[in-house]
Structure 1
Amino acid sequence: MFRYFSALLIVLLFSQLASAEVGFRQFRLNSESERPLDAALWYPTSDKGKPEQVGENIVFLGTNAQRDAKPGAQKHPLLLISHGYGGNWRNLNWLASQMAQQGYIVAAVDHPGTTTLNKEKRAAQQLWRRPDDLTLLLSHLLKTPELAGYVDPERIAAAGHSLGGWTVIELAGGLFSVDRFLQDCQTHVTLGGCKLKHVLGTDKPESKAPLAASQRDTRIKAVVSLDLGLARGFTPESLAQISIPVLVMGAQADSDDVPARLESGYLFDSLPQNLRRYVSVTGATHFSFMQMCKPGVEALIEAQDPGDGIVCRDGGSLTREAIHQQLFTTISQFLNQTLNYQPPHGESRQGSSH
């Protein structure tokens, strides 16, 4: 018995010493171009400085991280993150922080035209540039390890929520057909993507060719789709040719805008059987994938923008924190397995999301 407790004490002490602290950095990519990209990075660090709350605002909780900490010296897997329409890099900060604790470098970008602080019409209607934003970010991180550390080029993945899910499927090899999409919208007029066709330019003739072009990035080895939209515009032939593992996660308490059966279900049904996995997320609405709301803010949101309080509502008895833990466990297991990655001892703990 004594030997057991002695061994346990050693393991616990080592785990505390080896646990990854999380560094955080923001920067602007292509600052001199007509499409500058605001990016956020979470990464392992051995620094022991004082953490601060990052990604917090009046509505949502942030996560603890050490701003501008020195990156670790080892190679790390990389997870690229894409937000949904009208969102921003903060939306999946809970996932980014926990994956960084597992030893991942995590990188998110605000997509111009479809982000919270930039709804510029022309940028929004260049939908095909969304996956290119992540490709540019990936290339930059590979050549500038001083930002977040050295990326293991054999262990790169991407995850996206809503329109971000569409974005990462583009990177996996999905090909989007404007004709197919618009024809489908005649039948499924209530889909959120169909309601946004003017805003996103998917009904513009000049969008047809660039949206049909392949955005496949062969450096990406696995993707995670979180309750995606616009899935029905992907050709089934292109989805059947995807050659990397895909985790498809849909909200159990789905909506008319993004019904999991029609969007995530369509994606899953079209993917190669040996490379796909589907999870219906218990208790999740479309907005449960976003960061946690502060107590009492739903009423505040409703008073200012009636109807928008839905972003803080979940679909069952589970709290959003519990839903996030469920999501993190599934996503991390999937990525660790598909990327053949074993988190260093102590970095596999399932930390708090806030």
Structure 2
Amino acid sequence: MLFPGPLVAQTTETVSDSLGQEDLGTLNRIDLIRPDAPELAKYGSHPVGVRTFSFTDQGRIDIVNTTEEGEPPTYDRDLTVEVWYPAAPGTEPGGTYRALLRDGTTEVTLSGQAARDAAPAAGEFPLVIISHGYPGNRFLMSHLGENLAPKGYVVASIDHPDSTYDDQTAFPSTLVNRPVDQRLVLDAMAALEGDLGPLVDDSRTGVIGYSMGGYGALIFAGGGVTQGAVTRTDPEGLRVPQDLLARNQAGTETHEALVDPRVQAVVAIGPWGRNRDFWDAEGLAGIEKPLLLIAGSADDVSEYDSIRRIFDETTGTDRHLLTFEHANHNAAAPIPAPAEAWRTPLGQEGAVFDHYADAVWDTVRMNNIAQHFATAFLDLHLKGDTARSGYLSLVEVAEEGVWSTADDGTPNADHSYWRGFPERTAIGLRLETRTAE
């Protein structure tokens, strides 16, 4: 019951309809670590706790209800945020989450390691902000939140209004608000009171964004958008009224004020935007934060060639591009498809399985690889653990690495296999690295 793979041979009715809610909660696990997972995917030494917070930005411009004429209306923008953190020793692991499926109406139960409202550990830990895609929710990358917290991070995952499964509205809101939401959560976590407040070291912050979350993270990191993105008049629904996207435009005072020195590392998974010329080389060169890009070579949403352009044009920073060969837009980021998502065959009304899954790669496998590389990257840049650099200095094409060890397991001089990957498991991956120019 813990592993969804063996259920593939059953009908979709037996996968979900014949199981009770308790069974589905057990099946829908976000904490699975495969036996062949790379080394740094495993959970850390801390127990993990989780709490839900709400933060409000008063007087935010209401993009959805702004027209081309007149004073833009404002409103109080409320963000629900799931926060994972190192818990006190002795905390009993295990808990569940109630989340909505991609259809915006079906409730599902997810299970993991985090204990709800557990007492926190002693100490101060770097902050990681997680930002989902369009649409998505704060649980879409919960596997990363749960996985990083026991390794010594406080992780805050955002529900972005106008962009979640049950309140998805006009796309221009997402275009303007993503990096602003990320900054709001950083400020709110820095000011957090109560027993969790002392845990948060906001001076060492990382941002992980998927798709539109990656778009926001790149803007937040210093990659201001183009003038053409601000003034565009195309019929794709990407026009922001009254040129209000200018607050995120490269070279403006508002964008310069948004970029925050506390952010010291960015992970962008399948970031959207270069495929619609929301950036150019000059704007992307403004990113000076260490950057890890993760993508599938078959991504037809953010478009893999465009993600490679981001990699080429972020010349102001050291960066990596991790590629899952033949994976599409869901590479690495989403949790495994909940059992309820298996009910409806693809192509039929209500089908949501393909929102989570990939046609080639096993999702848990991709999650474990993302956990491994995110851990190495964040440990290096947020904790100063230089030993982690060995997990990022690799033969570019994974299967070209040579496994060569002595009988006692000591690597021989010609051993070049990807560090942390068990023998025969580094395949279908590519890691490219470039330094700032």
TM-score by length of 2: 0.64
Match of 1:293 in 2: 337
What is the rounded CA distance, in whole Å, between the counterparts of 2:269 and 2:335 in structure 1?
13
1:26 to 2:52 alignment: yes
Q: CA deviation at 1:245?
A: 0.4
Q: Secondary structure at the match of 2:140?
A: helix
Match of 1:221 in 2: 264
1:338 is matched with which residue: 364, 381, 384? 381
Match of 2:68 in 1: none
What is the rounded CA distance, in whole Å, between the counterparts of 2:200 and 2:76 in structure 1?
27
What is the rounded CA distance, in whole Å, between the counterparts of 2:139 and 2:242 in structure 1?
33
What is the rounded CA distance, in whole Å, between the counterparts of 1:308 and 1:181 in structure 2?
32
Cα distance change, pair 306–295 in 1 and its aligned pair in 2 (3 A): closer
Deviation digits for residues 230-263 of structure 1, max 9, x if unmatched? 13312321211322101111112322x221112x
Q: CA deviation at 1:158?
A: 0.3
Deviation digits for residues 21-45 of structure 1, max 9, x if unmatched? 1100002112876211111100100
Deviation digits for residues 143-183 of structure 1, max 9, x if unmatched? 22533652224421101000000011111011112515777
- Size of the aligned set, in residue pairs, is 311
What is the rounded CA distance, in whole Å, between the counterparts of 2:345 and 2:52 in structure 1?
27
1:77 to 2:126 alignment: yes
What does residue range 82-121 of structure 1 map to in structure 2 within 5 Å?
82-121=131-170
Normalized per residue, which structure has more helix?
1
Q: Secondary structure at the match of 2:374?
A: helix
Q: Secondary structure at the match of 1:70?
A: coil
1:38 to 2:75 alignment: no
Match of 1:137 in 2: 185
Tell me which of the two structures has the higher relative contact order, counting C-alpha pairs closer than 8 angstroms and 6 or more residues apart.
1
What is the rounded CA distance, in whole Å, between the counterparts of 1:136 and 1:167 in structure 2?
12
Q: CA deviation at 1:206?
A: 2.7
1:276 to 2:319 alignment: yes
Match of 1:6 in 2: none
What does residue range 295-334 of structure 1 map to in structure 2 within 5 Å?
295=339, 297-300=341-344, 302=346, 305=349, 308-316=352-360, 318-334=361-377
The one-letter amino acid of 1:82's match is S
Q: CA deviation at 1:322?
A: 0.7
What is the rounded CA distance, in whole Å, between the counterparts of 1:210 and 1:238 in structure 2?
14
Q: Secondary structure at the match of 2:114?
A: strand
The one-letter amino acid of 2:154's match is I
Does the 8 A contact of 2:174 with 2:212 survive in 1? no
1:150 is matched with which residue: 199, 220, 227? 199
Does the 8 A contact of 1:175 with 1:234 survive in 2? yes
* CA-atom RMSD in angstroms: 2.9
Q: CA deviation at 1:306?
A: 5.3
What is the rounded CA distance, in whole Å, between the counterparts of 2:283 and 2:57 in structure 1?
34
Q: Secondary structure at the match of 1:287?
A: coil
What is the rounded CA distance, in whole Å, between the counterparts of 1:259 and 1:342 in structure 2?
33
Deviation digits for residues 76-101 of structure 1, max 9, x if unmatched? 01110111111110110001110112
Unaligned runs of 5+ in 1: 1-17, 187-193, 344-349
The one-letter amino acid of 1:81's match is I
Q: CA deviation at 1:301?
A: 6.4
Q: Secondary structure at the match of 1:327?
A: helix
Q: Secondary structure at the match of 1:89?
A: coil
1:164 to 2:224 alignment: no
Cα distance change, pair 155–55 in 1 and its aligned pair in 2 (3 A): farther
TM-score by length of 1: 0.78
What is the rounded CA distance, in whole Å, between the counterparts of 2:270 and 2:345 in structure 1?
23
What does residue range 190-229 of structure 1 map to in structure 2 within 5 Å?
195-197=236-238, 201-202=239-240, 204-212=241-249, 213-214=254-255, 215-229=258-272
Does the 8 A contact of 1:60 with 1:292 survive in 2? no
What is the rounded CA distance, in whole Å, between the counterparts of 1:23 and 1:168 in structure 2?
25
1:239 to 2:274 alignment: no
Q: Secondary structure at the match of 1:324?
A: helix
Q: Secondary structure at the match of 1:233?
A: coil
What is the rounded CA distance, in whole Å, between the counterparts of 2:347 and 2:229 in structure 1?
40
What is the rounded CA distance, in whole Å, between the counterparts of 1:62 and 1:272 in structure 2?
41
Bigger Rg, which one: 2
